[in-house]
A and B are shown apart, each in its own frame.
Chain A
């Protein structure tokens, strides 16, 4: 029972960071209807920004956090301007967007290898290693911090989407560009906001992952987990992405705890294929809303 609870808590913690990635990714998908494979590159840059802020510039954590979130948000917006906007203006087929996104992802990875180097970088210790002990359970301080930061970030996003006018315009634009622009919505501005929000979430995920593990140019590959989570929950559905991500985190830690940590990814990917076969629309997704 202790092992179970322990793994459950670890799973929720790691799942909450997957949720940050998956929601950012899903948000962009809901508007643009294509898989933004450059999302991983943005997460990677966020992780490096956090590393530089904490290890090199020796800034306090809140400022490093701010730099990672805002820097990644700006990066995502710039990427959209350079890599997607020209395609959008020409009504290019979706495949072109995906290829452009892959190109952007490879570009980011290689620019980091060329300038910073291919080596693993370790974050300085920000939170004490000694865990909180509740009975027989040992909960890492960093895990608690990860969960709280992720939950608060997602809550803020939820409020923006559900309670503000711009959030309503995001949903309207996600449903139909033409109708939304007929209402006076500047859809370029909505895309700008969506990439900014998605990028900021990616940056937050990046700095949290960097603290938990290490930073290296290929860290963006972790987005494949976010992709699984988003598909699991139903692409384009934000609540689905959160449910999918937490489920994935729990499945992973349970596999690692009870079976073998080496089988962790195998099971996660097997799950993806299984879901695509059995319920391609995911838990919360609706097939008829999928326009891609």
Chain B
């Protein structure tokens, strides 16, 4: 579904992504793990055309992606950005409706709005509240709900667990699995490597802009090198 080949991104003088190859198949959860500054967000921003690429190709359903950010979501690629970026000055409902900005099919928008409320009952309770008044966890739910409102084929999640309490992190990962059951493909980037790999089908390890390892997520969890570097386990 999503095919990335030899992707390079330069930020000023920094070579943020160095020849990255990634494949995401329909219906999968693909997790990209890596430490802070490894280039995870840059990768998602390159797919969303937020940052310019300096080499390589990104193909979605066999076609190269367009160069303007606002044309990406219409193809069926939705990004839930790092730091949530919910519209603090809009109500919860208006935030969700912004997610459906390009859609004209009123009946289906209504259906998806109800689906989002079912997935996140907490949002339904706060429907008229300004998004800026929500807690961090609620804002993450809103950002994910908003991301679903474009009825995407693939949803790109950028550090959804960042800054959340452990219990909320658990909830968020359960919701990601629920989203998969809604026939969505998911590309997840996370610092929380264990959680990210345990729900994933395929995992990639990104380090200093390069993919240093890829494979079946279960195998990556069992890999001693990964365990030591990312899962906080010592060699025994």
Contact = CB atoms under 8 A, between A and B. Distances in A.
B50 A184 contact: no
B31 interface: no
Nearest to B156: A182
Contacts of A187: 70
B81 A185 contact: no
Interface residues of B, number: 26
Contacts of A186: 68, 70
Contacts of B70: 181, 184-187
* Interface of chain A: mostly helix, strand, loop or mixed: helix
Interface centre among A165, A168, A183, A186 (most CB of B within 10 A): A183
A141 interface: no
B85 A179 contact: yes
A182 B50 CA distance: 8
Contacts of A260: none
B120 interface: no
B164 interface: no
A178 B85 contact: yes
Contacts of B99: 183
B231 to A, nearest CB: 31
A221 B182 CA distance: 59
B88 A175 contact: yes
B88 A289 contact: yes
A58 interface: no
A264 to B, nearest CB: 35
Contacts of B69: 178, 181-182
Given A169-B98, A172-B98, A182 B87 contact: no
Interface string A93-136: 00000000000000000000000000000000000000000000
A168 B81 contact: no
Contacts of B73: 182-184
Contacts, number: 65
A42 interface: no
A126 to B, nearest CB: 40
Interface string A156-175: 00000000010011011011
A177 to B, nearest CB: 9
B94 interface: yes
A176 interface: yes
B89 interface: yes
B159 to A, nearest CB: 15
B102 interface: yes
A138 B89 CA distance: 43
Given A182-B48, A183-B150, A185-B70, A168 B98 contact: yes
Interface of B: 48, 50, 68-74, 78-79, 81, 85-90, 94, 97-99, 101-102, 146, 150
Interface of A: 165, 168-169, 171-172, 174-176, 178-187, 289
19 contacts: A165-B101, A168-B94, A168-B97, A169-B98, A171-B90, A172-B98, A175-B87, A175-B89, A176-B87, A179-B87, A182-B50, A182-B69, A182-B85, A183-B98, A183-B102, A183-B146, A184-B73, A184-B74, A184-B102
Closest 10 CB pairs of A and B: A179-B85, A184-B102, A181-B69, A184-B73, A183-B101, A172-B87, A175-B87, A181-B70, A186-B70, A184-B101
